[in-house]
């Protein structure tokens, strides 16, 4: 067992070993746009002398751009979110394998691709938020979302959204297609309204009274604790939350990912950058930028995330879960969950 302090030293040594040799640039295609990321890039530049060039955009646009650029793409790294989207990018051949002992030691196995195509650098759980004054016994498991006891009470975003797809993919991975289909049909029957809006809108629905229980990623609520989010922050005292499946499979988690681009012109610098992202200080900047949980065990939580607390996560391999993405969409379609 390697302790986290030893790993941090290993991360630092690796970083500075790189600094003696490395020069030039690393080109990062990123769908992230957080202030704390500026510190990430400047710290990496200061430590290595490698200049960071960034192209920022919406995830699907960056992926389309990389596909269009093909072997001429200047991208060294793709940073994006969600295992399903990352799986699609991988299916398009946008990543290459990275064999890094440091990354294997730092990033838990279930949060990275088995051949090193991508690594999860922060995580978020998909959990339940409920109205304390209206819900005495909130659902404790994903299965219970489909229990008739919650008829007309649940709010969840569209099945076309990647978060919904990855959640369904995990249900398929644990219980099989038939059970997943039954679950989707029951969940559809329990919806308080047609799926609409983003995750924050589901939590807003709890505040407005339209929904009793909302399914949302943790960071949308943590953000409302940290700063003013219209329609949520003023009412946080009445919102309770449940980390599902704590006595069984653990709460479904998803990831922000980084992987080395298939045609990376600066491959070694790209690997150094990914290794840097796994260091303690980078983990803190990276996760805090979006009120997420760090991927590397032992790295502290930001105050807003600490308020939500620690939980038991589903440790089934996210790369394997995401392979169910096409089946997940087919099941939602089959039961008319839009
Ligand atoms: Fe999100």
Q: How far is CA 288 from the centre of its chain?
A: 13
Q: Tell me, what's the pLDDT at 23?
A: 66
Yes or no: say if 264 and 72 are a contact pair by the CB < 8 Å rule. Answer: no
Structure-block tokens of residue 245:
């499946």
pTM: 0.91
Distance of alpha carbon 172 from alpha carbon 179, whole angstroms: 8
CA of 116 to the centre of ligand 1 (A): 24
pLDDT digits (tens, 9 = 90+) for 164-182: 999 999 999 999 999 999 9
Residue 220 CA, ligand 1 centroid: distance in Å: 7
Distances (CA, A) of 75 to 11, 14, 199, 262: 24, 23, 30, 9
Q: Residue 207 CB: number of other CB atoms within 10 A?
A: 20
In the reported structure, the alpha carbon of residue 97 is separated from the centroid of ligand 1 by a whole-number distance in angstroms of 26
3-state SS, residue 13: helix
Say which residues have a Cβ less than 8 Å from residue 21's Cβ, sequence separation at least 6: none
- Cβ distance 212 to 230 under 8 Å? no
Instruction: Using the CB atoms, write b or e for 139-156: b if 16+ within 10 Å.
Output: bebbbbbbeeebeebbbb
Distance from the alpha carbon of residue 162 to the mean position of ligand 1, in angstroms: 9
pLDDT at 33: 84
What's the confidence (pLDDT) of residue 61? 97
What pLDDT score does 6 carry?
39
Q: Return the pLDDT at 160.
A: 94
Give the residue ranges of the chain where pLDDT is below 50: 1-21
156 CA → ligand 1 middle, Å: 13
Tokens of 154: 């649940």
State the Cα–Cα distance between residues 210 and 193, nearest whole angstrom. 8
Question: How many angstroms does the Cα of residue 148 sit away from the middle of ligand 1?
Answer: 28
Confidence (pLDDT) at 34: 86
The C-alpha atoms of residue 16 and residue 197 are separated, in whole angstroms, by 45
């Amino acid at each position: 067992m390697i302790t986290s302090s030893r790993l941090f030293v290993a991360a630092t040594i690796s970083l500075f070993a790189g600094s003696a040799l490395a020069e030039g640039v690393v080109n990062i295609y990123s769908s992230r746009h957080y202030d704390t990321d500026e510190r990430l890039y400047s710290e990496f530049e200061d430590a290595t002398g490698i200049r960071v060039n960034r192209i920022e955009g919406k995830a699907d646009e960056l992926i389309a751009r990389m596909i269009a650029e093909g072997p001429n793409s200047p991208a060294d790294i793709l940073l994006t979110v969600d295992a399903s989207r990352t799986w699609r990018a991988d299916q398009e051949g946008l990543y290459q394998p990275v064999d890094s002992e440091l990354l294997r030691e730092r990033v838990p196995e279930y949060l990275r691709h088995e051949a090193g195509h991508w690594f999860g650098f922060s995580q978020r759980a998909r959990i339940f938020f409920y109205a304390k004054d209206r819900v005495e016994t909130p659902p404790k498991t994903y299965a219970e979302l489909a229990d008739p006891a919650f008829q007309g009470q649940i709010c969840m975003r569209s099945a076309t959204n990647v978060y919904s797809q990855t959640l369904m993919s995990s249900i398929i991975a644990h219980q099989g297609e038939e059970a997943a289909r039954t679950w989707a049909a029951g969940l559809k029957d329990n919806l308080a309204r047609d799926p609409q809006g983003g995750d924050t809108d589901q939590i807003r629905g709890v505040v407005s009274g339209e929904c009793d229980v909302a399914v949302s990623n943790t960071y949308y609520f943590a953000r409302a604790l940290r700063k003013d989010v219209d329609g949520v922050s003023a009412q946080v005292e009445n919102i309770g939350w449940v980390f599902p499946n704590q006595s069984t499979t653990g709460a479904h988690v998803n990831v922000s990912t980084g992987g080395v681009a298939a045609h990376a012109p600066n491959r070694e610098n790209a690997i150094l950058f990914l290794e840097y992202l796994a260091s303690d200080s980078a983990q803190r900047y990276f996760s805090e930028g979006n009120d997420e949980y760090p991927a590397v065990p032992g790295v502290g939580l930001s105050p807003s995330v600490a308020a939500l607390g620690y939980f038991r996560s589903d440790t089934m391999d996210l790369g394997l879960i995401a392979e169910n993405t096409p089946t997940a969409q087919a099941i939602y379609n089959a039961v008319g969950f839009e």
